[in-house]
A and B are shown apart, each in its own frame.
Chain A
Amino acid sequence: KNEVEQSPQNLTAQEGEFITINCSYSVGISALHWLQQHPGGGIVSLFMLSSGKKKHGRLIATINIQEKHSSLHITASHPRDSAVYICAVSLAGTASKLTFGTGTRLQVTL
């Protein structure tokens, strides 16, 4: 079993839909990261959080430390949101080293 699990693996949505991607982890962490990887391969860090909730534009990330679960929400989705979304955790005691989930491939259609 992977230390970081994401669901769903693949997701297709129509433009405007509200999207949720889930991430569960089984280890102690110092922080959880949400990353976005576009088809060209480049990776952008969307959020880094260790508690509560963060919002940036149409993106919202939440984390529940007790339940070891995080969600990434996209409101009013748009085709340009199509990408792979990756959940990664910094293990407790290793502030920088990341353990990655397998990613969620999102396709937003018109």
Chain B
Amino acid sequence: GAVVSQHPSRVICKSGTSVKIECRSLDFQATTMFWYRQFPKKSLMLMATSNEGSKATYEQGVEKDKFLINHASLTLSTLTVTSAHPEDSSFYICSLVGGSVVEQFFGPGTRLTVL
């Protein structure tokens, strides 16, 4: 399967700051990337779907101006949490698919804590 990395793995920031999370595919050309968030002991919630070179599609209830997604290349997508608040503290995970491959490959996740 594909190797997916996320950076940073853990970040603590002050309320009001912006945080950028990178999701990289190391050996796979990802035509589509997904961003999820997960609260403790809860299931993953899809935030948005991003296709390379086009605007992301956000799920209902997810503010696109707060969670900026850029899928600049087939190997990199970024999620920027703007003006972070404590309620944005969560575990953020990316996954990717490519071409005709339906299986999703997940990143290791980024734990965001907003103070």
Q: Does B1 contact A (CB under 8 A)?
A: yes
Q: Is the CB of A45 within 8 A of B93?
A: no
Q: Give 1 or 0 for each of B94-115: 1 = CB within 8 Å of chain A CB.
A: 0101000011111111010000
Please indicate the chain A residues that have their CB under 8 angstroms from the CB of B25 in the complex.
Answer: none
Contacting pair A90 B102 (CB below 8 A)? yes
Size of the A side of the interface (Cβ < 8 Å), in residues, is 21
Binds B, one of A17-25, A52-60, A61-69, A91-99: A91-99
- The answer to whether residues A48 and B93 also contact, given A86-B43, A97-B49 and a CB cut-off of 8 A, is no
A100 to B91, CA, bound (A): 16
Give the residue name and chain of the B residue nearest to A35 (CB).
Answer: B106
Measured in the bound complex, the distance between the Cα atoms of B95 and A31 in whole Å is 17
The number of chain B residues with a CB under 8 A from chain A is 22
User: Which residues from A are CB-within-8-Å of B109?
Assistant: 40-43
Output the least CB separation between B34 and chain A (Å).
8
B108 engages A96 (CB within 8 Å): no
* B2, closest chain A residue (CB): A45
The answer to the question of B44 belonging to the interface, with a C-beta cut-off of 8 Å to chain A, is yes
A45 touching B44 in the complex, CB below 8 Å, given contacts A40-B108, A96-B32, A97-B49: no
B74 near A: Cβ within 8 Å?
no
Q: Which residues in B have their C-beta under 8 angstroms from that of A90? A: 102
Which residues of B are interface residues toward A (Cβ below 8 A)?
1, 32, 34, 38, 42-44, 46, 49, 91, 93, 95, 97, 102-109, 111
Q: Write the residues of chain A forming the contact surface with B, with a CB cutoff of 8 angstroms.
A: 30-31, 33, 35, 40-45, 48, 86, 90, 95-98, 100-103
